[in-house]
């Protein structure tokens, strides 16, 4: 296993173990609140991940995933600066969601505000009992700006998200599981081990299949029915005529595990 860092303060640590990279947000004194430097570090990694990486695990240090936007930075911006900052968040969240690499979130503690926006951009989410999901912006006199109305809103639906924001309601891991904010609710200390287990499983898939699932499914959800079905056919045609598809079929017939490129 190798470890690298993205700046002198080690604000984002990266551990590489074979095809899996584990990214740890490392601002424990701030409950891993998102500052510009941390957002830039995530952007830098997802813009050009190491060539052999096939799956990414995203987690936080100090018992928290991410407590959202660092409000000390927020209050220093005027309206124009806040708009540009919000659009930059959108760009980075989209890069994480559509980089083509599956991202597994190992969550505990605060998954609040921008932290929930970040988690909703990842593809597999695992929550420990300490996890708190919340959108508290209304209690701060502000509005979400990192993509929640699209990312979180499509998980919860607009009616439930509106109530969540109006009341500042908190959801725990079990409630988050029922709502779709997390896919797995696990015991204390189990999120990261399970993330590693799932990442290893996902890494064995054909890269093209993983890429298609990441790129196509969300976009098809935005399409009219007929357009979505046509896009599905195109994805099927490309994937099912690939070398990996041939290997998958041969492995099934030979009763062995496939070895994809």
Domains of the chain, residue spans: 2-203, 207-253
Kindly tell me if the per-residue pLDDT of 59 is higher than 90.
yes
- Range 191-202 average pLDDT: 98
Per-residue pLDDT reduced to its tens digit, 67-106: 998 877 766 788 998 899 999 999 999 999 999 999 999 9
pLDDT at residue number 4? 54
Say if domain 207-253 classifies as CATH 1.10.12.
yes
- Answer yes or no: 175 catalytic: no
Q: 240 is written with which tokens?
A: 């099912």
pLDDT at residue number 215? 96
Kindly tell me if the per-residue pLDDT of 260 is higher than 90.
no
Percent residues over pLDDT 70 in the chain: 96
Active site residue: 117, 128, 190, 247, which one? 117
pLDDT at residue number 251? 81
Residue 249 dihedral angles phi and psi, to the nearest 5°: -65, -45
pLDDT at residue number 74? 64
Question: Hey, which residues does 69 pair with through a beta bridge?
Answer: 34
7 pLDDT band, cuts 50/70/90, is very low
DSSP H helical segments within the chain, as ranges?
A: 36-47, 71-74, 79-98, 114-120, 148-156, 158-167, 173-179, 191-203, 207-221, 225-240, 243-253
- Range 135-149 average pLDDT: 93
Least confident range of 9-23, 49-63, 112-126, 245-259:
245-259
Per-residue pLDDT reduced to its tens digit, 171-186: 999 999 999 999 999 9
CB-CB contact of 117 with 144 (8 Å): yes
8 pLDDT band, cuts 50/70/90, is very low
CB atoms within 10 A of CB 32: 29
254 pLDDT band, cuts 50/70/90, is confident
Kindly tell me if the per-residue pLDDT of 218 is higher than 60.
yes
pLDDT at residue number 71? 79
Active site residue: 15, 73, 128, 137, which one? 137
- Answer yes or no: 117 catalytic: yes
The residue with greater pLDDT, 249 or 136, is 136
- The rounded distance, in Å, linking the Cα atoms of 48 and 45 is 6
- The rounded distance, in Å, linking the Cα atoms of 116 and 125 is 11
- Range 139-148 average pLDDT: 93
Kindly tell me if the per-residue pLDDT of 2 is higher than 60.
no
Under CATH, which number does the domain 2-203 receive? 3.90.226.10
For 79, residues 6+ apart whose C-beta sits below 8 A from its C-beta are: none
């Amino acid at each position: 296993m190798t470890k690298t860092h993205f700046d002198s303060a080690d604000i984002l640590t990266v551990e590489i173990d074979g095809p899996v990279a584990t990214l740890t947000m490392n601002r424990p004194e701030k409950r891993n609140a998102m500052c510009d430097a941390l957002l830039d570090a995530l952007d830098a990694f997802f813009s050009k991940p190491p060539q052999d990486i096939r799956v990414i695990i995203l987690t936080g240090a100090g018992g928290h995933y991410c407590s959202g936007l660092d409000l000390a930075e927020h209050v220093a911006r005027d309206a124009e600066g806040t708009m540009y900052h919000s659009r930059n968040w959108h760009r980075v969240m989209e890069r994480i969601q559509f980089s083509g690499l599956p991202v597994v979130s190992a969550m505990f503690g605060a998954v609040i505000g921008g932290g929930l926006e970040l988690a909703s951009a990842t593809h597999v989410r695992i929550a420990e009992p300490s996890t708190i999901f919340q959108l508290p912006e209304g209690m701060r006199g502000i509005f979400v700006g990192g993509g929640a109305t699209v990312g979180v809103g499509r998980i919860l639906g607009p009616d439930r998200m509106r109530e969540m924001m109006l009341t500042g309601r908190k959801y725990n891991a079990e409630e988050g599981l029922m709502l779709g904010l997390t896919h797995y609710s696990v015991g204390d200390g189990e999120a990261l081990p399970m993330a590693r287990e799932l990442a290893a499983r996902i890494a064995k898939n054909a890269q093209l299949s993983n890429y298609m699932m990441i790129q196509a499914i969300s976009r098809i959800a935005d399409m009219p029915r007929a357009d979505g079905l046509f896009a599905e056919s195109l994805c099927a045609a490309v994937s099912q005529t690939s070398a990996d598809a041939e290997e998958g079929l041969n492995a099934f017939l030979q009763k062995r595990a496939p070895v994809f490129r």
